[in-house]
C-alpha cells in the first residue's frame, strides 16, 4: 500500500502542526555598519536597505530593532583613517569601541556582537599584518594584534566576539587573552568555516574593505574543499569556540549539515551580502515573490542545521513575523 503523504497537507492548521522547521525573530543577528560623524545614514547602492551610519543613527536603529523584537546585532567599523596594521581597531577611542560604549549606555539590553578583523581598518584591505615576501597575511603577527583588538572590544562592553580573519590558532589566542584579562565569561563565535567566496562583493562596498592587491584565497577556504571545511570548524571547537559558523550560507548548506552532525555546539550561518543582493534585486525587478523567497531561504538555513542566522534580511523577516501575529 502506498503512503498518502497528502493527508497531512490538505488542512492549513494540520500543515502548521506537523511543520518540522520554523523561523523565529530570536534566530537572527542583524549586521550594522558604523562610521564617525553625525546624522549620517548612507544607503549602499549594491545593497538596497543597508546603510553606513554614524553612532547617533545607530542608536535610533537599535530602538527600531527592539520594537521588532530584534535584540542582537553585529558591528562592523569604518574608520576615518586606515594604515598598514589597522590602528583604529586597536585604540580604545576607535570607531568600534566608541560605538559599543554608546550602544550599551543607551540600549543596555541590546546584545552586541563585534566582528574582529582588520580588513576594514587597513589601507591594503587585507585581514592582518602583511607578509611582504609571500604577499599574504602574516598569521602569527596577526594573532598578536587580534588579541589586542579582542581586549579593546571586551573593555568597551561587547557581549560576544566574532573573529573573522581565518588565522590559524585565532580561537585559542583570543580565549587565552580574554581569560587572562578577566573575561573568561565572554563568548566567542568563530567564523570557523569561511570560504574565499565571490558572494562577498557588496559587503566590500559597504565596509570599504576591498583588497588593494590579490585576494584572500591564501587564508580563507577553498570553496571546493569539503573535508577541510569540516576540519576547520572541529579545530575551532577544540580551541574553545562557543559557537561555530559557516560563511557564506546558501551555497554551503551541505557543509552546515555535516558540521552540525559532528558537533554539539550551536551553529551560525552568515547570509552574506551577495546572497542578499541577488534576492533584493530580483524582487525589485519583479522576478520573484520576494517575501516568500526570502522566508523560504531562511527556512533552508534552519533546516540545514543553523541555530543562528546573521542576515541583512533580519529586519524584514521580523516585520513579516510581527504582522503574522496581529
Q: Which residues are tagged catalytic?
A: 194, 247
Beta strands 111-116 and 160-163: pairing type?
parallel
Q: CA 188, 193, 196: angle at the middle one, nearest 5?
A: 125
255 vs 261: CA distance, rounded Å: 10
List the grid coordinates of 190. Answer: 568563530
List the grid coordinates of 112. Answer: 552586541
Q: Where are the beta strands (DSSP E) in the chain?
A: 28-35, 41-44, 47-54, 72-78, 111-116, 130-131, 136-137, 160-163, 193-194, 244-247, 267-271, 308-311
Q: Which residues contact 76 (CB under 8 A, 6 or more apart)?
A: 31, 32, 33, 34, 115, 120, 206, 207
Amino acid at each position: 500500500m502506498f503512503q498518502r503523504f497528502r493527508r497531512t497537507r490538505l488542512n492549513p492548521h494540520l500543515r502548521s502542526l506537523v511543520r518540522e522547521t520554523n523561523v523565529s525573530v530570536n534566530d537572527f543577528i542583524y549586521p550594522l555598519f558604523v562610521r564617525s560623524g553625525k546624522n549620517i545614514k548612507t544607503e549602499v547602492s549594491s545593497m538596497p536597505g543597508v546603510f553606513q551610519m554614524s553612532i547617533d543613527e545607530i542608536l535610533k536603529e537599535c530602538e527600531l530593532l527592539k520594537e521588532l523584537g530584534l535584540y542582537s546585532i553585529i558591528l562592523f567599523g569604518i574608520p576615518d583613517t586606515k594604515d598598514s596594521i589597522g590602528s583604529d581597531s586597536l585604540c580604545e577611542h576607535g570607531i568600534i569601541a566608541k560605538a559599543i560604549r554608546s550602544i550599551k549606555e543607551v540600549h543596555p539590553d541590546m546584545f552586541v556582537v563585534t566582528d574582529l578583523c582588520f580588513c576594514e581598518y587597513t589601507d591594503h584591505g587585507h585581514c592582518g599584518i602583511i607578509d611582504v615576501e609571500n604577499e599574504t597575511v602574516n598569521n602569527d603577527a596577526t594573532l598578536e594584534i587580534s588579541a589586542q583588538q579582542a581586549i579593546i572590544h571586551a573593555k568597551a562592553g561587547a557581549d560576544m566576539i566574532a573573529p573573522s580573519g581565518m588565522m590559524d590558532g585565532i580561537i585559542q589566542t583570543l580565549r587565552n587573552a580574554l581569560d587572562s584579562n578577566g573575561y573568561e565569561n565572554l563568548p566567542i563565535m568563530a567564523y570557523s568555516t569561511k570560504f574565499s567566496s565571490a558572494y562577498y562583493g557588496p559587503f566590500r562596498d559597504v565596509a570599504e574593505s576591498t583588497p588593494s592587491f590579490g585576494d584572500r584565497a591564501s587564508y580563507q577556504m577553498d570553496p571546493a574543499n569539503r573535508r577541510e571545511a569540516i576540519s576547520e570548524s572541529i579545530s575551532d571547537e577544540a580551541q574553545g569556540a562557543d559557537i561555530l559558523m559557516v560563511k557564506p550560507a546558501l551555497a554551503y548548506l551541505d557543509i552546515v549539515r555535516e558540521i552540525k552532525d559532528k558537533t554539539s555546539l550551536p551553529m551560525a550561518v552568515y547570509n552574506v551580502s551577495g546572497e542578499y543582493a541577488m534576492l533584493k534585486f530580483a524582487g525589485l525587478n519583479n522576478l520573484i515573490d520576494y517575501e516568500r523567497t526570502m522566508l523560504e531561504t531562511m527556512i533552508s538555513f534552519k533546516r540545514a542545521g543553523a541555530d543562528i542566522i546573521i542576515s541583512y534580511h533580519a529586519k524584514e523577516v521580523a516585520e513579516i513575523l510581527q504582522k503574522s501575529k496581529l
